[in-house]
Structure 1
């Protein structure tokens, strides 16, 4: 018998061992029938024309490290986050297809607002507490007014009337209303009680130069813990006990559209990589806000309420409008209202608790003007979806309210500009 034979007693099965281990490794990183790594990353990187904007990532890094003008650093980082937000959503969707309904729900809860979490965390660690508050408020308003309004408006051009599961929509709207009320209470406490007045001076001041009162901190941190508990209960309600209220009827066309384009390992690696890159771009973006706002006289509130949410909601905006055009309003409601619930009941409480840990006095006390804006917006959305039907007129009303809020934010921060227009 030849010494090079596979059955050689000296060599054993040397030729078969590499095949055995290679097969095990391949099965671990790509299951049978899944797209290859080449196909996965080809779809991920070249599946959309929006990915051309990824060229702004190296520009963002260069502008930050070479200390270019603040406006250039802000614009480059701002534009770079837009395709990153879309890629985060794409990777999450591809993983959701493989993981099933329960785990995909948890995954979407964790990464559905990853951009907002990253921007909020970066601003919090840099002490930009007002940017944290305004960006979170702006994300909520953008989702329930701009994104939902454009979705109803676009869907109304293709369907005279759209319908969705009324019970599930009411459950989501009720939780959104509860979250809104929990943001009203700290503002009422700070405005009507002497113990709610901020303390001066302060070791770690907020943007106004003072510390929130102990009572305001206790209310905010205690409410944050309770909101996290309510959000966990909402996940159980949505995924386990009453999933029929949120389920979209599936067809063969839907199943074909939701077929996976990436294998699980490629989607997981892409999700982690994009999250890290987004964190760096968000850090560069937040670091340039202060200088940009001062040099070019752009109010921070306008940046937080209007500009930053456009970045975080770019991918959701396109997906929501597309689902409404295809008459899938359950998915539209889930994307818009569900994302607002995640921000108000998950992201904001987490940031309050994180601020508690790192010593930043972040509270749930928004300015009275901002609290009123949130309250009337949630009220209008609740009124419009309570009948389980929608049309283009309802979408127009939501969009108009968002434009009025944008105009009010600009005039509030630039009264001289509005005075000159009147004169």
Structure 2
């Protein structure tokens, strides 16, 4: 019987490029054997175990600002230092929450894991909004929500289009996914803009009517959010999981069960730390804004959303570099926008109803106009189905113009 093409001849070293996937690698380094029980239960502290379970990332060195932020806030240091330390601390904390919630998805399944990601994916905005509404800072909470949408919609999406299509001719979107997401985004923006339009068309005050209308609209948006989750995680989940199918085939070995407890602990501690840092930031903003000569609106609309979205945004942008698949990036970005518009903002309106705070969907006129034109521009790009790097440049340029506009206000 003739030798197979993968069988080495006598006296020759086996070629690793021709070996069967089931054959051992002759050039691989010897792997350590299984750990003994004494090694698994050695004198390692819980802190070491948690540190070992934290994945490496370029933003995690910023965790050194977490103790500084907590100490400065508890000891009432200079408001500028309290703001800077806690502002820098929430960047890696957002990455930790995102990584931990993604790890939980592997254990909890698509539906429950998707609900966890949806609830905690915008933990900074959610915690900031809850604390602001509870303290009566309605306008500040609205600015954070609008700023988060604009950051995802213009800055991150624009950078993704630039990095994915640079040095290429014309690329195409996956229209079944982007079309559905674009339509949902338009419906969301209409629900957010309509109360402001309704208020401006009446010559008399509609205070109580706007509050009631906002609560009713929020209930509809929450129902729509449930339908969106069912669409994404249930009936049409294959549209959003095409990009990860190959990775699942390559690495399908389940992690040890003990990793679940680590992810839960890291998620709980990170969320608690975000809430604490956010509380210190809100307390220091009035004095810090005066000292730094910037407005509270600029902090809420530009700085806080950038700190919250930078870890996920950087990961998505890097995934698009060099002609990467931008369709999956768009689904992540638009999903984050829909979480804000369909879940976080309506949730804050309902929370204000419970705690007797007049949180409404009536935004400032400038915010309403900016949101409308931003959604209109992005929807035109997505519906066209084709893009080049100039489309991303337009989105980034528009965000830079809006940043200047909020700075000079």
* Counterparts of residues 263-282 of structure 1 (less than 5 Å): 263-282=259-278
* Counterparts of residues 12-411 of structure 1 (less than 5 Å): 41-45=50-54, 47-157=56-166, 159-196=168-205, 213-250=207-244, 252-253=246-247, 255-256=249-250, 263-325=259-321, 327-411=324-408
CA 1:79/1:157 → structure 2, altered by over 3 Å: closer, same or farther?
A: same
Q: Is the 8 A contact 1:165 1:245 kept in 2?
A: no
CA 1:39/1:334 → structure 2, altered by over 3 Å: closer, same or farther?
A: farther
Q: Structure 1: any 5+ residue segments left out of the alignment? A: 1-22, 27-36, 198-212, 414-423
The alpha carbon displacement at 1:232 in A equals 0.5
Aligned CA-pair RMSD: 2.3
Q: Secondary structure at the match of 2:242?
A: coil
The alpha carbon displacement at 1:277 in A equals 1.0
Q: Deviations over 1:30-80 (max 9, x none)?
A: xxxxxxx89973454361242221111111112112211111111111001
Is 248-257 or 137-146 further displaced after alignment? 248-257
Q: Is the 8 A contact 1:135 1:304 kept in 2?
A: yes
Q: Secondary structure at the match of 1:386?
A: helix
Cα distance in 1 for residues equivalent to 2:214 and 2:233:
28
Cα distance in 2 for residues equivalent to 1:332 and 1:121:
28
The alpha carbon displacement at 1:221 in A equals 1.0
CA 1:101/1:163 → structure 2, altered by over 3 Å: closer, same or farther?
A: farther
Q: Secondary structure at the match of 1:402?
A: helix
Q: Deviations over 1:123-169 (max 9, x none)?
A: 22222211100010000000010011111111123654443421121
CA 1:327/1:135 → structure 2, altered by over 3 Å: closer, same or farther?
A: same
Q: Deviations over 1:306-326 (max 9, x none)?
A: 101011101111121022226
The alpha carbon displacement at 1:191 in A equals 1.4
TM-score for both structures, normalised by structure 1: 0.80
The alpha carbon displacement at 1:250 in A equals 4.2
**Shift >6 Å, 4+ stretches:** 37-40, 257-262
Q: Deviations over 1:74-123 (max 9, x none)?
A: 11110010110011111111112333333322221111111210111122
Q: Is the 8 A contact 2:53 2:262 kept in 1?
A: no
Q: Secondary structure at the match of 1:196?
A: coil
Cα distance in 2 for residues equivalent to 1:246 and 1:45:
27
Cα distance in 2 for residues equivalent to 1:330 and 1:101:
20
CA 1:273/1:188 → structure 2, altered by over 3 Å: closer, same or farther?
A: same
Count residues with an aligned counterpart.
363
TM-score for both structures, normalised by structure 2: 0.83
Cα distance in 2 for residues equivalent to 1:70 and 1:260:
47
Cα distance in 1 for residues equivalent to 2:210 and 2:328:
37
Cα distance in 2 for residues equivalent to 1:180 and 1:252:
35
Q: Secondary structure at the match of 2:344?
A: helix
